[in-house]
Amino acid sequence: MSSPLADLQLAKLPSKIGNYLKSDARADAIAGLTVAVMGVPQAMAYALIAGLPPVWGLYTAIVTCTVAAIFGSSNHLVTGPTNAICMVILSLTAHLPQRYDLPLLEIVLLLTFLVGLIQFLFGLLRLGGIIRYVSHSVVVGFTAGAGILIAFNQVKNILGFSLEGHPERFHEVIIATAQSLPKTNVHALIVGLLTIACVILIPRINKRLPGSLLGIIVSGTIAYFLGWHLPEMGTGKIEIVKDIEPISASLNIFHFPQLLTPPPYELTRELGLGAMALAILGLIEAASIARAVAAQSGQRLDFTKEFIGQGASNMVGSFFSSFAGSGSFTRTAVCFKSGGRTRMAAIFSALWTALTILLLAPIANYIPKAALAGILIVVAYTMVDKHRLMVTWKTGKHSRMVLFGTLISTLILPLEYAVFVGVFLSIVILLRVTGNTDLTQLEQQPDAGFEEVPFNRAAPSEVVTVNMEGDLYFAAAEDLDYELLNCLTPKTKVVILRMKRLRAVGSTAMAMLEHFWELLHKRNIHLVLSGIEDSLKKVMTGSGLRKRIGEQNIFYADNKLFQSTELALARAWSIVEMEKRRLESTRQSAEQLDTDITAEAILSPRILRFGNQHQVREALWLISEMLKHMPSKSSRPLFLQDREGKLDCSLTLWSILKTLGKGVESNEADSINENELAEKMRSNFSVNIKDIARDQLPKIGPSTGLAEIARQSRDHGLQALAVSDDEGRLKGIITQLDILKAVGKALDFNPEKELPNV
């Protein structure tokens, strides 16, 4: 008994079909035809890479393309034979027929079924997200290496000879090819070079013309009419598709793989690792290509469904004379750019390919093998994407390591191992990067908020605040307790750990924190925690660490930024004050207070400060925003800091205004309007404020006496003097009015008392 929902969907089916035929069918059919025109010669050529008859490439382009489109999710992904996949198939299977005395085609079908089964299981287990952990550098490096291998492996076909001993390694192929050069078939070389010229030059004349197809037609026609394919040519005869395996005008391609009932244990075990490598490589290719096109089309992809589609296409393909396929970047791009709208575009391309076999099989049999090799050499050249290689190389040392490691492995190792080497390097570097917790220090400023400075670069203080971000699993937690000790100074009484941005906190992290608490406890230093979220709270409770540290020293995350950290600082300073009172109560004699006036006594903590990397545009905006919230609008200089928060130079508002007005000439000042003035001032926005700032500032510390302050004010003529600590970090400023007040206090000056009556 059918469900009401199923009946409703069935009732809507005719309407959906009608709407599709009216709106999308024509666009999909045209896009599918464009893909087929470009893909038919490419599919035949790719089969040669795998060491298989060219017609198998056409079968793969029909079956895997159709099944993947039915079960997949991408509207534009076109599945079929790909160059990298075919190269791995050759590496895995070329030596096996002789070892096991089995037909090559049956071995390839078994391999294809295993690849599809692994991919299908990846989809059922919803492991689509695992591909995110494989670096893009793996694909770039492997593709470039495969392109080099393909090019050198096709040299023999374009020169018209076979290599003795069937060499597999890159260096073996080069040596064997060089030794066989005297056997070059000039006719094959002419056909190959002519095809290459057509493939390269025809699209430059008109991008809509299929260079590969026309190249085969031109070179094949010349070879046929000159009779170069005939046996009478002797050593000058060129090999054609018919000599490899004739293509029949039939789609009777169902073939049950003989090795599936039951699979030979030794052969299956040997193919297992390679099948896993092929499955992963195929999924990476399909996922990356589908994602790239979806970014332009705006489609939302379901990678679980895509994995199931790729697996199903290869499993079904193994029963229809097809080898393992994957998403093709070139065919997918053509499908998208040709106006394909739904997954039916890929199915249409398969239908057009099938129609090609039925109608043009007799003609296809006369395609020269050298012509297909010429197409492959051009394809191999495009696989070595110099732009992507350069971008990946410049991205960073980690990307370079993965790229270089994968590329070299592809050239010197069996390709299935090269895939795993790239994946292994990618994961190892990922673990290495995430295996370090980011540590910085926070300094609370008297005027507003916090400043973040590099770890172990903050000014000495009784309270040290460490900001922890990133992962804190077992690898990241190793020795972190000893690294945290580097932030301590002789003045330190309390350490605050802000832990709001931590991830993957486990038992190892709890053991590390407990050991850190013990190390601090031995030094009579208190530990306070802030930003504790619910997940971390549960782990701390379960480990018993929450009880040991004490609830009064733990502050939980709040939706207000830095709320828990501010509370933790209040707790820390209360601890410092309690310690001070305890020490004072135990002293034998009171220390005599120093009543001399110092910079610390008269400084103002309200400072306008910026980094010295800003431009005039940023400084202007920041000043205007800050002045909105300042009670006093009096002009004060800006003090510029370096990346470590140390005083570098000062900048007056007058310097900014003078810079903005550089573009205004005196003869036009009276005539331009406000909009024109704004445009002229904007031209100076990119000036770096360090270039117009004043350096060589006087050194004023908190303990500097009033006499020195007065002298420095006189000699430098500044509106305000910056007060810095021993590390060079700003503590506050002393204005001219502050100095005058201090001088008046030192003179004990009372205007009513000192001035005579008039």
> Which of the listed ranges 25-29, 103-107, 533-537 does the model predict with the highest average pLDDT?
103-107
Residues 611 and 511 in one domain: no
Contact 565, 496 (CB under 8 A): yes
Residues 78 and 152 in one domain: yes
**Could you give the percent of the chain with pLDDT greater than 90?**
18
Q: Is residue 593 part of a domain?
A: no
Q: Which two tokens stand for residue 330?
A: 């070139």
Residues 255 and 389 in one domain: yes
In sequence order, what E strands does 303-418 have? 326-327
In sequence order, what E strands does 30-153 have? 79-80
Residues 405 and 443 in one domain: no
Q: Is residue 448 part of a domain?
A: yes
Residues 114 and 250 in one domain: yes
pLDDT above 60 for 279: yes
49-63: average pLDDT: 92
Residues 541 and 631 in one domain: no
Q: How far apart are CA 499 and CA 496, in angstroms?
A: 9
Residues 605 and 690 in one domain: yes
Q: Is residue 411 part of a domain?
A: yes
- Tell me the pLDDT tens digit for each residue of 21-54: 778 888 899 889 988 988 888 899 899 888 899 9
Q: How far apart are CA 463 and CA 387, in angstroms?
A: 51
Longest dimension (CA), the chain: 135
Residues in a beta bridge with 556 = 532
Residues 459 and 421 in one domain: no
Q: What's residue 754's pLDDT? A: 47
Listed in sequence order, the residues at least 6 apart from 510 whose beta carbon sits closer than 8 Å to its beta carbon are 539, 540, 543, 545
Helices 136-159, 170-179: axis angle to 10 degrees equals: 20
Contact 504, 469 (CB under 8 A): no
Listed in sequence order, the residues at least 6 apart from 462 whose beta carbon sits closer than 8 Å to its beta carbon are 491, 492, 493, 494, 573, 576
> Which of the listed ranges 111-125, 515-529, 593-607 does the model predict with the highest average pLDDT?
111-125
The DSSP output letter for 483 is H
Q: Is residue 6 part of a domain?
A: no
Residues 424 and 311 in one domain: yes
- Tell me the pLDDT tens digit for each residue of 560-608: 777 788 888 888 888 888 877 777 665 543 343 334 688 788 887 777 6
Q: How confident is the model at residue 11 (pLDDT cuts 50, 70, 90)?
A: low
Mean of all residue pLDDT scores within the chain: 82
- Of 407, 428, 449, the residue at which a domain comes to its end is 428
Contact 353, 43 (CB under 8 A): yes
Contact 599, 704 (CB under 8 A): yes
Whole-number CA gyration radius for the chain: 38
Q: What's residue 585's pLDDT? A: 63
- Of 524, 552, 581, the residue at which a domain comes to its end is 581
Q: What's residue 319's pLDDT? A: 96
Q: Is residue 572 part of a domain?
A: yes
Q: For position 610, which CATH number holds?
A: 3.10.580.10
Q: Which two tokens stand for residue 559?
A: 């939706």
Q: Is residue 416 part of a domain?
A: yes
Number of domains forming the structure of the chain? 3
630 vs 53, which has greater pLDDT? 53
Segment among 243-257, 345-359, 457-471, 586-600 with least mean pLDDT? 586-600
Q: For position 576, which CATH number holds?
A: 3.30.750.24
Residues 368 and 274 in one domain: yes
61-66: average pLDDT: 96
Residues 152 and 41 in one domain: yes
Q: Is residue 758 part of a domain?
A: no
Q: What's residue 501's pLDDT? A: 73
In whole angstroms, how far apart are CA 314 and each of 79, 122, 454, 720? 10, 13, 53, 77
- Of 362, 393, 428, the residue at which a domain comes to its end is 428
Beta-carbon-side half-sphere exposure of residue 557 (alpha carbons within 13 Å)? 13
Q: Is residue 757 part of a domain?
A: no
In 497-615, which ranges are continuous DSSP H helix?
507-522, 534-543, 545-549, 563-586, 599-602
- Tell me the pLDDT tens digit for each residue of 710-743: 888 888 777 788 888 877 787 888 888 888 888 7
Strands 647-651 and 608-611: unpaired
Q: How confident is the model at residue 753 (pLDDT cuts 50, 70, 90)?
A: very low
427-441: average pLDDT: 73
Strands 526-532 and 494-503: parallel
Q: How confident is the model at residue 7 (pLDDT cuts 50, 70, 90)?
A: low
Segment among 283-292, 499-508, 570-579 with least mean pLDDT? 499-508
- Tell me the pLDDT tens digit for each residue of 211-232: 888 888 999 999 999 999 888 8
What range defines the domain where residue 97 resides? 20-428
Q: Strand, helix or coil at 720?
A: strand
Listed in sequence order, the residues at least 6 apart from 552 whose beta carbon sits closer than 8 Å to its beta carbon are 571
Residues 24 and 168 in one domain: yes
Segment among 185-189, 268-272, 444-448 with least mean pLDDT? 444-448
pLDDT above 70 for 633: no
